[in-house]
Amino acid sequence: MIGDAGPNHGAVLRIGVIGAGGHATHQIYPCLNSLPIRLAAICDIDEARAEHNARRFGAESVYADHSSMLSDASLDAVIVCVGAEHHSKLAIDVMEAGLPVWTEKPPAASAADAAAVLATSRRTGQTCMTGFMKRFAPVYRRARSAVASPDFGPPCLLAIDWSFGVADSSWLDMFLLDFGIHMVDLARYMFGEVTEVFARDHFGIAYAVTLTFANGAVGTLSMTANRGLDITEEVHLTGSYGNHLTIDRSGRLTRYRGNTVLDYHDRPLALQDSLVDIGYQGELAEFVSAVRDRREPESSIASSYETMRVYDAIRHSIQEQRVVCLDEIDARS
């Protein structure tokens, strides 16, 4: 929900960024120079990192304390890109200061914490968007349009196989929440809301998840950290008889009706693995556009809260070794 107060439509937004670590520096800041914004301030608890990024990306001012930045920098909106455990508190602080906020995924560490962020957004009237960039990758937007088309038929089966990991046991603590959560959100983006979850894991390095969707479709998520640093990602979506599409590890989309290829989409070489291709550019452009137009963005906190409910259901299913209905999550998370 967008409040009455805010920048005028078409205005150049004064943006403050909280976070100047490696991910923010390589994936977030480079997207900003093509947007109708002015980088007004950078905040990081390591002030030297903030100063480095201010010089590199042309920020007006530097802060080591986010409260000072929120009160002194005359901002129109804030981008938060720090550790996942800090997202919910910082998002709430920004909205309480009367500003719209974008945070990297996940929006919080649990559905309950995400619900608190959502409640703050509704109470303050401030936009809150979560950076689920898969929704803005051109290949997945094309796939979703295909699934939504009448000739694809009712969604029937979703299958996602994905991997990414490092050989460090401490890294596994954040595997599902900080990385696998992309696949959870992608499943919702493609087939809609989830009603039931059944999940198993293997020592936190591999997950097998079955999903039941509100539209009657079923799906599987296969996720592991054990194939190494190179990301592998394959998506198969099936509709009515003969209608299906595949997105392979190279990001190529092929849509079929029986043995006939209806659509083929390959990324131009210039875009492969670029910030546009992966979705970072699109998600930040959506945030800026939503703030300027005073509208609800794609991947709003209301949507990402639903993704966190599925995440919590996966955790509970693994712990309790049973099917978990999403209706249970509100009462217990």
pLDDT at 33: 93
Mean pLDDT of 70-98: 97
Q: Which residue has the tokens 């990414």?
A: 164
Least confident of 64-78, 97-111, 117-131, 249-263: 249-263
Alpha-carbon radius of gyration of the chain: 20
Alpha-carbon distances, residue 20 vs 57, 81, 287 (angstroms): 11, 8, 19
**Mean model confidence pLDDT for the chain:** 93
Q: How many helices (H) and strands (E) does the chain have?
A: 12, 15
Give the residue with greater pLDDT, 310 vs 278: 310
- Please report which confidence band the pLDDT of residue 170 belongs to, taking 50, 70 and 90 as the band edges: confident
Residue 216's Cβ-count burial label (10 Å; 0-12, 13-18, 19+) is exposed
Q: Report CA torsion sign: 46, 52, 57, 62.
A: positive
Q: Does 136 have pLDDT greater than 90?
A: yes
Q: Does 289 have pLDDT greater than 60?
A: yes
pLDDT at 168: 73
- Please report which confidence band the pLDDT of residue 165 belongs to, taking 50, 70 and 90 as the band edges: confident
Single pTM value for the model: 0.94
Is it true that the peptide bond before 106 is cis, omega within 30 degrees of 0? yes
pLDDT at 173: 78
Q: Does 267 have pLDDT greater than 50?
A: yes
Least confident of 55-69, 244-258, 262-276, 316-330: 262-276
Mean pLDDT of 300-307: 98
pLDDT at 6: 59
Give the residue with greater pLDDT, 266 vs 20: 20
Q: Report CA torsion sign: 289, 290, 295, 297.
A: positive
Q: How far is the C-alpha of 299 from the C-alpha of 141, rounded, in Å?
A: 13
Q: To 10 degrees, what angle do helices 181-191 and 301-320 make?
A: 120
pLDDT at 3: 42
Domains in the chain with CATH codes: 13-132+282-299 (3.40.50.720), 135-277+308-332 (3.30.360.10)
pLDDT digits (tens, 9 = 90+) for 183-228: 999 999 999 999 999 999 999 999 999 999 999 999 999 999 999 8
pLDDT at 306: 98
pLDDT at 4: 47
Q: Does 177 have pLDDT greater than 80?
A: yes
Using a pLDDT cut of 90, give the percent of the chain over it.
86
pLDDT at 274: 87
- Please report which confidence band the pLDDT of residue 333 belongs to, taking 50, 70 and 90 as the band edges: very low
Mean pLDDT of 62-88: 97
For the chain, the straight-line distance linking the first and the last C-alpha, in angstroms and rounded, comes to: 24
pLDDT at 273: 67
Alpha-carbon distances, residue 39 vs 33, 44, 276 (angstroms): 9, 14, 20
pLDDT at 2: 40
Mean pLDDT of 87-113: 98
Mean pLDDT of 163-182: 85
